[in-house]
Amino acid sequence: MSRITYREAVRSGLCAALREDPLVFLMGEDVGRYGGAYACSKGMLAEFGPERIRDTPLSESTFVGAGIGAALGGMRPIVEVMTVNFSLLALDQILNTAATLRHMSGGQFSVPVVIRMATGGGRQLAAQHSHSLEGWYAHIPGIKVVAPATVTDARYMLPLALREPDPVVIFEHALLYPMEGELEDVSPETMFKATVRRRGRDVTLVTYGGSLWKSLQAADELAGRGIEVEVIDLRSLRPLDLEPVLASLKQTHRAVIVDEGWRTGSLAAEISAQIMERGFYDLDAPVARVCSAEVPIPYAKQMEDAALPSVKQILSTIEELVHHE
């Protein structure tokens, strides 16, 4: 195993994909000469040239649409959207075109496009750059939605996504890019399945993306208080793989969901509903949720911290649930 940053893992996955398949290319804002908004494509223009590392205008609907067209034409485009908030400008292309063409053509056309975008708050970039809208995309049939939380997943999810015949949207939490971790040897075929990141007997904690590390920190602190938390990383948000969650509930009988999206109409709400539908009789207490405050994410540091899920919130939520009578 080698220790690298999440950013380096993303770049390694991108480079490997371009080297292995001449049909793969990367396009997006500042991916070329600038090296990417998060430095994930730094140096790639020099290696692969402007035909395969394509800088685009500041027009998400245009370059996402171009990526869809290239996929229909037999290419394997990777489209980078700078931040999830800006992806809403391309939501028409993703929802009404990429996600629907296979169905509307009776299976005659597939759209093998991979769309990467940064998500999440915590960087004092205010409301237009800090939201977590993964749940909106997970609502859409016709696409896969994944959220790599570790350097290993960041490295290997992309090549796996490129094998898919239909659109895949990859959400990379912006706070993870400088994070270091061990790059492990794994079977890529398991990448789109939920996995247990920490074993425990008292509470099942379900999360994904940037919230995984807050959840693991909380679990470590609770272990010192005699509460063992089982932490499950969803990895795939559409389709949801809840089998490990339901299996865990048979032992813990309590569930907490940590989701940086807003609570109302959230991915956490969908997971909670499915737990109720499929695992109700294993529950000894109501499912609890830790989500972002129902406000646009603030700019001021102390307000942003208060609006986002925190380790302190996770701790208090789990302790209350364990002591619930």
* Protein fold of 2-189: Rossmann fold (3.40.50)
How far is CA 90 from each of CA 26, 98, 132, rounded to the nearest angstrom?
17, 11, 16
Q: Percent of the chain, pLDDT > 90?
A: 96
Given pLDDT bands bounded at 50, 70 and 90, which one contains residue 60?
Answer: very high
60 is catalytic: yes
CA distance 237 to 194: 9
- Is the CB of residue 233 less than 8 Å from the CB of residue 259? no
Q: Tens digits of per-residue pLDDT, 36-53? A: 999 999 999 999 999 999
User: Residue 217 pLDDT more than 90?
Assistant: yes
Tokens 């470590």 locate to 220
What per-residue confidence (pLDDT) applies to 178?
A: 97
- Is the CB of residue 11 less than 8 Å from the CB of residue 33? no
- Tell me which architecture the domain covering 195-322 has in CATH: 3-Layer(aba) Sandwich (3.40)
Among the options 8, 29, 80, 129, which is catalytic? 129
User: Residue 242 pLDDT more than 70?
Assistant: yes
324 is catalytic: no
pTM over 0.85: yes
Q: Tens digits of per-residue pLDDT, 117-138? A: 999 999 999 999 999 999 999 9
**Average pLDDT in the 301-319 region?**
97
Q: Tens digits of per-residue pLDDT, 243-288? A: 999 999 999 999 999 999 999 999 999 999 999 999 999 999 999 9
CA distance 38 to 40: 5
What per-residue confidence (pLDDT) applies to 185?
A: 82
- Is the CB of residue 112 less than 8 Å from the CB of residue 166? yes
What per-residue confidence (pLDDT) applies to 325?
A: 53
Domains 2-189 and 195-322 share a fold: yes
> Where along the chain do its domains lie?
2-189, 195-322
What per-residue confidence (pLDDT) applies to 1?
A: 65
CA distance 236 to 320: 28
Half-sphere exposure of residue 77, counting CA atoms within 13 Å on the CB side? 24
Mean pLDDT computed over every residue of the chain? 96
Given pLDDT bands bounded at 50, 70 and 90, which one contains residue 323?
Answer: confident
What per-residue confidence (pLDDT) applies to 188?
A: 73
Q: Tens digits of per-residue pLDDT, 14-28? A: 999 999 999 999 999
Tokens of 89: 């400008």
